Structure 1
Amino acid sequence: MDGSDGIAALTPDETPRTVVHPAESELPRFVDKYFLRTKEVVAKFGDVDVTYAVFMRRPVTSAPRLAMQWLERMAKARGVEIRIDLKQKEGSWVGAGEPIMYVSGSLYHLIDLETQFLQKLGACCVAAYNAYVMCAEMQKTAFLAMDARHCAGTEMAEMMAYGASVGSAKAQRKLGAVGFIGNASDETAHFFDKDRGYGTMPHALIGYAGSTVRAAEMFHETHPEENLTVLVDYFGQEFTDALAVCRRYPELAAEGRVAVRLDTHGGRYVEGMDIGMSYQVLDRNAPQAIRGYRTDNELRYLIGTGVSAAAIWHMRERLDRDGFKAVKIVASSGFSPEKCRVMALANAPIDVIGTGSYLPEKWSETYATADIVNYGGEERVKVGREFLLEKTRTEHRET
């Protein structure tokens, strides 16, 4: 488990590039009404200094930066002091119910910030946890964050990219993993220390071109300096089309500038394969995988339809057999932490995984919670959350 040394606050240079939403001027329109009415009660009967304990109900990886930055901007806009005692630094493992931070200040100025603050914390922490697990399972494979299309708006896309970058950085630091090398859009590329997003072609370009090879030609003529990653599942001829593109660009292929992307959906097997052939491919390349699976779902990832470990191994076999050993394999379609674990079990020869499946599968698991544990110097918390008081006392004794 990582350490939990706190930091007081972030510097202005660390603020995100995107516009912080909601701004202080528009905040009341987005705040739960009971917070606004409580704010009016406090204004009438007197303010008090309070301390919130902020925690998650499941284990996560701490990813507090966006939430903290928003809180600090609100404090600056209001001209008040909000004290943040971060107990779990960015990238650290956090247990269920364990406070990530304590937030202290005027109840009048904190009470209407809770909803938006928690929105910017919980989902990031779960995404960071999932991204770390995936990178840890496949330490030699690069990951590309392709979550944006699955997000509910640009704010969520920012949070998910940030979460992936935190989990990735932790895996790189602790395990030497390759981790996430970038993402799909320019706006959030800075989280991965990049100036722009990555990507070549969607299925729409294949359909527009009328053939996979023609789509590759169009792309290369338009972007000759870019590496060529070609989707090969559009016509259900994954191996045929992959080899055709390689033969069309043998020089690029020999230079390692060609990659084939397997994105076959789960409704069919890749070209020419079935369950029997899938078993044979794995028996040649990763016999330990068949003996190591634990659930029916894991078996499906090994020898089932869609982008299975067997399909990836067979693509590697076909490319190598035809002399295209430098051509890379990019895999996408449902690469969750569980699927990554199975691919690692099969030692699947994947160079890059394109994934949005580190996004929280159960949104209820992303709910961050904040409870006030101190009012004007007096410890007080609702029944059932007394454990937070003990944690607060422990923290104070240690400091």
Structure 2
Amino acid sequence: MESSFCAAPVDDAAIRARTDSYFNRTKAIVTRFGDCVVTYAVFVRRPVLSATAMVEQWLKNIAHERGIEILVEPVFPEGEWVGAGEPLLYITGFFSHLVDLETLVLQKIGSCCVAAHRAYQMAISLPKAQFLAMEARHCAGYEMQELMVYGASVGSRTARKEGAVGFVGCANDATAAFFGQTHGFGTMPHALIGYAGSTLRAAEMFHEVYPDKDLTVLVDYYGREITDGLAVCRRFKDLAEAGRVGLRLDTHGGRFLEGLDPQESYAVLDRYVPDALRRYRSESELRNLIGTGVSAAAIWRMREVLDQAGFEKVKIVVSSGFGVTKCASMADASAPIDVVGTGSFIPKLWNETYATADIVTYDGSESVKVGREFLLPSFRRAEENRRNLMHRDDRPRG
């Protein structure tokens, strides 16, 4: 995984150009008037999962490149829950060595910790489903993608400890290593179906070129999810019976799955999960259950027609807006989902991702901005643990 931690710059010129100017000026002032050793505490204002390995590796690269020492001490193990305002890590070194790094450090902390928390929530909501990370198209460049997919991998590992399947791969090769893979997953976009002229023909083309690959087919292009889905299953009956066919629902939010409307959607859920409709629902929750697009009713209906046609082993793959809320709604409806393709672990409210760093000691003396005194107790605990560890290490060996 560490081989992927390479998008961020480590050369001084790039760092100077990308950091805030007042940090660059502070570096010059400190260099002139005398350096000191400082410790920064880095925190996020909302609950997150700790995902600091990326910034730790970057700081390690910086220390190597500059020939300096930077001590980075994570407060929490990777993937552990962190309360709002609790320091995620401490960074110690000479002030002149660290001050120009603050901007770039903060860019690498908050967003991936929030993404980790969201990915965990999604995976734990649907513990039996496999998730595929499809964030790349929603990211502002590769550096953001790397942060997001790293966060998803951290959240997924935490969810797996609690019995969820979690994220098993992603959409492209560049970030596949975060999930222990060598390549990205995926079969076809809508464009291939438009090119082929029919859903079935696109499936045939794919299978001819990739006969050893499992076949997952988008079935919403022509608005005939059921008709085209069954046609693919019948054409590739042997693959379907072997569990090597999947139908991907990506139905546009402006229409219902083939054959459904509000009344039929209610009827489908009433057949399979009637209790899901008998609790109070917000408007967004109700839409996830019986509305347009890839609703719980649409998924249940697809499972129903597949089973009735004898294709019990055909998988249902879903995409389109599967974030924290939608995954929770699907869990409420026990939606029979096999695979979720999603980039919706990307933080929904970006201002929740803002990380902050404050210096808590100068040459060993505590000093922190008024209002940030809450950073000191955990720092003192960390110092005490460090002293105790050093004391144990200094004891004579028997």
Superposition map of 1:208-219 within 5 A: 208-219=195-206
* Equivalence for 2:115: 127
* Equivalence for 2:331: 344
Q: Do residues 153 (structure 1) and 141 (structure 2) align?
A: yes
Moved more, 287-296 or 342-351: 287-296
Secondary structure at the counterpart of residue 169 of structure 2: strand
* Equivalence for 1:185: 172
Q: 1:375 aligns with which of 362, 384, 398?
A: 362
Alignment-mate amino acid for residue 210 of structure 1: G
Alignment-mate amino acid for residue 273 of structure 1: L
* Equivalence for 2:192: 205
Superposition map of 1:134-283 within 5 A: 134-173=122-161, 175-283=162-270
* Equivalence for 1:107: 95
Identity rate of aligned residues, in percent? 60
* Equivalence for 1:394: 381
Secondary structure at the counterpart of residue 317 of structure 2: strand
* Equivalence for 1:326: 313
Alignment-mate amino acid for residue 45 of structure 2: R
Q: 1:335 aligns with which of 299, 307, 322?
A: 322
Q: Deviation of residue 20 (structure 1)?
A: 3.8
Q: Deviation of residue 23 (structure 1)?
A: 2.1
Contact 1:160/1:359 (<8 A) preserved = yes
Alignment-mate amino acid for residue 9 of structure 2: P
Q: Deviation of residue 160 (structure 1)?
A: 1.0
Alignment-mate amino acid for residue 379 of structure 1: E
For 1:189-225, what per-residue CA distance to the aligned partner results, in whole angstroms no more than 9, with x for missing partners?
Answer: 0000001000000000010001000000111111111
* Equivalence for 1:97: 85
Q: Deviation of residue 176 (structure 1)?
A: 1.4
Contact 2:5/2:57 (<8 A) preserved = no
Secondary structure at the counterpart of residue 196 of structure 1: coil
Go from structure 1 to structure 2 and tell me whether the alpha carbon gap of 1:189 and 1:323 turns closer, same or farther (over 3 Å shift): same
Q: 1:384 aligns with which of 354, 364, 371?
A: 371
Q: Deviation of residue 389 (structure 1)?
A: 1.9
Contact 1:119/1:368 (<8 A) preserved = yes
Superposition map of 1:359-370 within 5 A: 359-370=346-357
Q: 1:315 aligns with which of 298, 302, 307?
A: 302
Moved more, 187-196 or 380-389: 380-389
* Equivalence for 1:41: 29
Contact 1:293/1:342 (<8 A) preserved = no
Q: Deviation of residue 159 (structure 1)?
A: 1.0
Moved more, 305-314 or 25-34: 25-34
Distance 2:359 2:27 in 1: 15
Q: Deviation of residue 18 (structure 1)?
A: 4.9
RMSD (CA atoms): 1.1
TM-score by length of 2: 0.95
* Equivalence for 1:358: 345
Alignment-mate amino acid for residue 358 of structure 2: D
Distance 1:388 1:63 in 2: 19
Go from structure 1 to structure 2 and tell me whether the alpha carbon gap of 1:355 and 1:337 turns closer, same or farther (over 3 Å shift): same
* Equivalence for 1:117: 105
Q: Deviation of residue 265 (structure 1)?
A: 1.6
Moved more, 345-354 or 288-297: 288-297
Distance 1:55 1:338 in 2: 26
Distance 1:58 1:19 in 2: 28
* Equivalence for 1:285: 272
Q: Deviation of residue 291 (structure 1)?
A: 2.1
Contact 1:266/1:307 (<8 A) preserved = yes
Contact 2:245/2:314 (<8 A) preserved = yes
Secondary structure at the counterpart of residue 229 of structure 1: strand
Contact 1:86/1:102 (<8 A) preserved = yes
TM-score by length of 1: 0.95
Q: Deviation of residue 293 (structure 1)?
A: 4.8
* Equivalence for 1:10: none
Kindly tell me the number of residue pairs found equivalent between the two proteins: 385
Q: Deviation of residue 382 (structure 1)?
A: 1.0
* Equivalence for 1:11: none
For 1:26-67, what per-residue CA distance to the aligned partner results, in whole angstroms no more than 9, with x for missing partners?
Answer: 211111111000000001100010000111100000000111
Which structure 1 residue ranges, 5 or more long, are not aligned?
1-13
Distance 2:267 2:36 in 1: 70
Distance 2:5 2:358 in 1: 29
Alignment-mate amino acid for residue 347 of structure 1: S
Contact 1:16/1:66 (<8 A) preserved = no
Contact 1:20/1:70 (<8 A) preserved = no
For 1:338-389, what per-residue CA distance to the aligned partner results, in whole angstroms no more than 9, with x for missing partners?
Answer: 1101101100000000000111001111111110011111111111111112
Secondary structure at the counterpart of residue 100 of structure 1: strand
* Equivalence for 1:298: 285
Contact 1:143/1:352 (<8 A) preserved = yes
